[in-house]
Structure 1
Amino acid sequence: MRTVKRLHPAFRDDIGDLVTRRPVPGPAIGHVGAFLFLNHHGPQRYPPNNRGLPFGPHPHRGFETVTFILEGELAHTDSAGHASIIRAGGIQWMTAGSGIVHAEVSPADFKRDGGPMEILQLWVNLPARLKMTAPRYVGAQAGAIPAVTADGATVHLISGAFGGAQGVVDSLTGVFLSWVEIEAGGSVTFDGLAGRDVFLYGARGMFHVEGTAVPHFHLAELGPGDGVTITATEPALFLFGHAAPIDEPIVAHGPFVMNSEAEIRQAFHDYQAGKFGVAEIVEA
């Protein structure tokens, strides 16, 4: 079974009035295999007549973004023609691939009324053979996401298989992703992890891995093994995922993740030339 090799605290990096914590990349860890970046926005409460989220139209190429809306709601539009408003408990999975412009903002009613907000966005790498794949988008509300409950833990299954259920997203690279709610006294075991890169981040409460406590706002870097058992003595919520290693160079600059500096320069050139298209902000 896997054990905790090291804990990495998320550091505060607020964006205006948006509370933001980032465990990876961090001072002691650049990425966790295919898992490149995580922003944890909130938890916080927005007052009525707020400005909402600040993520207007911006480009991406070469990877995927997976967004977990734990509280609040998020309006998405992109240059490939996708648009949705996803509410608490839902997810967005966007494959930037060859290039896309998207906007992630608060709907008009949230800006008018305010309310609680907590959102996590994870960046997942694509191998060279898929970096220029066609963009795609999946938006799923809470009711569409399979939830597998046993032994005091509920696994909300985003991609991959668990407990006889299949995730709502068919990952291009076989990535397993979930968010898990666990009660005091609860336990959940994930197996089939040999040779996989494992991502484990505590968002709320505290849980334990083979006797090591993992507090909220911490990333747990795990050692080798075929499985991991996570237990809790208090209610907790965490992200859990695993992916096949991508043994390729990672060259990241701003919104682009490629394999070489030349590909980064080409991405900027293509974006500036208008090849990624345009995303219109739709808030209602």
Structure 2
Amino acid sequence: MKLNTIRTVGQSDFVNMGPIRLRQPLPTQQVEMVDPFILLHHYGPYDISEKSNPFDLGPHPHRGFEPITFLVQGEQLHRDSLGNESVVKAGDVQWTTAGRGIIHAEAPTKEFVKQGGTIEGIQLWLNLPAEKKMMVANYQHVKHEDFRVVTSEDEKVVTRIIAGELNTTYGRIATQTSVNAFMIEAKAGGRESITFSDTHQGMLYLLKGKVKVNDETTLELDKNQFIQFHQDGDGFSIEADENSLLLFMSGEPFNEPVSTYGPYVMNTQTEIMEAMRDYQMGKMGFLTPN
């Protein structure tokens, strides 16, 4: 296997988003986007209780992309204007295709807030190509135990295939574009090689632990947590120095203009204005506060 060379090694600095503080490895001053990925937020771990519940996101709209949640710890209630209501638990993934418009809300369940606990997860924004930005909205929720896995030869690395394909093992999520999403759990000393198409742009994010990538670059919390690969190989290798958790994403770039404003990702500023108008006119549906 020809290893992809590393294009960028970046930190995951904290940013303030309203009442919460979270890590933002994408975008940064170094990396504006990894086409087709627009944004990556690592939120938590937050201690949730009746006295402290900062992660309560009331009804809000989206258009033109796919907001995706990988829940690492805790329990969240998802509600949306399509009529979906589901409890997302640790290890689950919710994959929302906003398309022409959806309104959704996310928050720890009332039961979880009452008993107390920890919330942690990844929020990823995956762009949609111009031809699909106005498609009908859709929602997918896949539980942790239902994902297919690939296990390394040493049995110390387990890769959950969320979307796409690895070693002829396919993800449960139906995607709109050519994309891979893998959650990689590695025990100390574990080694694994991950392959992906040379037509994809790839990125790797460390949620916890310490790993060596391609035997040359070490990812470690609060130091380097994010890697963007060049499109010049067949994949990468990891070796875990300690128990670690990583998210790998790759996708076919669109090479299209991107215009963003708040919860909208479109191709032009005019389309952004249309999205704002359509939301105000109720064309994205309705969702009452919980």
Q: TM-score, structure 2 length as denominator?
A: 0.92
Q: 1:248 to 1:15 in 2, by over 3 A?
A: closer
Q: Give the one of 204, 224, 227 matched to 1:220.
A: 227
User: How far apart are 1:18 and its partner, in Å?
Assistant: 3.4
Q: 1:127 to 1:248 in 2, by over 3 A?
A: same
More displaced 10-residue stretch of structure 1: 142-151 or 249-258: 142-151
Match of 2:39 in 1: 37
Match of 2:146 in 1: 144
Contact 1:103 1:280 in 2 (8 A): no
User: How far apart are 1:17 and its partner, in Å?
Assistant: 5.4
**3-state DSSP of counterpart to 2:204:** strand
What CA distance in whole angstroms lies between the structure 1 residues aligned with 2:106 and 2:76? 6
Asked if residue 174 in structure 1 is aligned to residue 178 in structure 2, the reply is yes
Gaps of 5+ in 1: none
User: How far apart are 1:203 and its partner, in Å?
Assistant: 0.7
RMSD: 1.5
Contact 1:52 1:105 in 2 (8 A): no
Q: Give the one of 185, 200, 204 matched to 2:189.
A: 185
User: How far apart are 1:126 and its partner, in Å?
Assistant: 0.5
Matches within 5 A, 1:1-284: 1-15=3-17, 18-51=20-53, 53-150=55-152, 151=154, 152-210=156-214, 211-216=216-221, 218-223=225-230, 224-282=232-290
How many percent of aligned residue pairs carry the same amino acid?
35
Deviation string 1:181-227 (CA, Å, 9 cap, x unpaired) is 01111122122331211021111111111211012362112223222
Flag as ranges the 4+ runs of structure 1 deviating above 4 A. none
More displaced 10-residue stretch of structure 1: 147-156 or 74-83: 147-156
Deviation string 1:167-194 (CA, Å, 9 cap, x unpaired) is 1101110211011101111122122331
What CA distance in whole angstroms lies between the structure 1 residues aligned with 2:213 and 2:199? 19
Amino acid in structure 2 at the alignment position of 1:215: E
Gaps of 5+ in 2: none
**3-state DSSP of counterpart to 2:242:** coil
Number of residues paired by the alignment?
282
User: How far apart are 1:49 and its partner, in Å?
Assistant: 4.3
User: How far apart are 1:142 and its partner, in Å?
Assistant: 1.1
What CA distance in whole angstroms lies between the structure 2 residues aligned with 1:65 and 1:195? 23
More displaced 10-residue stretch of structure 1: 4-13 or 249-258: 4-13
Deviation string 1:258-277 (CA, Å, 9 cap, x unpaired) is 00011111100111111011
What CA distance in whole angstroms lies between the structure 1 residues aligned with 2:218 and 2:180? 23
Contact 2:165 2:171 in 1 (8 A): yes
Amino acid in structure 2 at the alignment position of 1:177: A
**3-state DSSP of counterpart to 2:192:** strand
